[in-house]
């Protein structure tokens, strides 16, 4: 919840608390001009800075979807799906020093 609610609230501290410092958030998208696949990557600090700049705080409350599903969990590893207003995030999480941290995100 710190990840998605931090995003919607523009709360950088809350977002940062959910992330592993070496987080990789990635997306493959199709460039509409060329039709070719493009790769987009951001790290933890860029995601925290984007959140600090307001993140999803301009999204009206009634549109702030955050449907969270734990797809799989084994010991200290989990895969989580979050359905948001305009995208879906697939999170890979690990328990680090007793706390769940997001290690990787694939989104579209």
pTM summary value: 0.92
Judge whether 57 and 73 are in contact, CB under 8 Å. Answer: no
Domain count across the chain? 1
Structure confidence by residue, pLDDT tens digits, 52-96: 999 999 999 899 999 999 999 999 999 999 999 889 999 999 999
Domain of residue 76 covers 2-107
Nearest residue to 43 (alpha-carbon basis) of 56, 26, 18: 26
3-state class of 34 per DSSP?
coil
Structure confidence by residue, pLDDT tens digits, 20-35: 999 999 999 999 999 9
Q: Give ∠ CA 24-86-54 in degrees, rounded to 5.
A: 65
CA dihedral 66, 38, 23, 8 (to 10 degrees): -30
CATH number at residue 24: 3.10.450.50
Tokens of 11: 């709360």
CA pair distance 92, 75, nearest whole angstrom: 13
């Amino acid at each position: 919840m710190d990840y998605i609610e931090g995003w919607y609230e523009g709360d950088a501290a809350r977002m940062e608390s959910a992330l592993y410092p070496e987080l990789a958030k990635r997306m493959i998208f199709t460039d509409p001009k060329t039709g070719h696949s493009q790769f987009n990557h951001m790290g933890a600090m860029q995601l925290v800075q984007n959140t600090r700049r307001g993140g999803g705080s301009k999204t009206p409350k009634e549109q702030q979807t955050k449907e969270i599903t734990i797809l799989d969990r084994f010991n200290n590893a989990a895969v989580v799906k979050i359905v948001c207003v305009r995208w879906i995030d697939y999170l890979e999480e690990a328990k680090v020093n007793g706390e769940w941290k997001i290690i990787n995100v694939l989104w579209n």
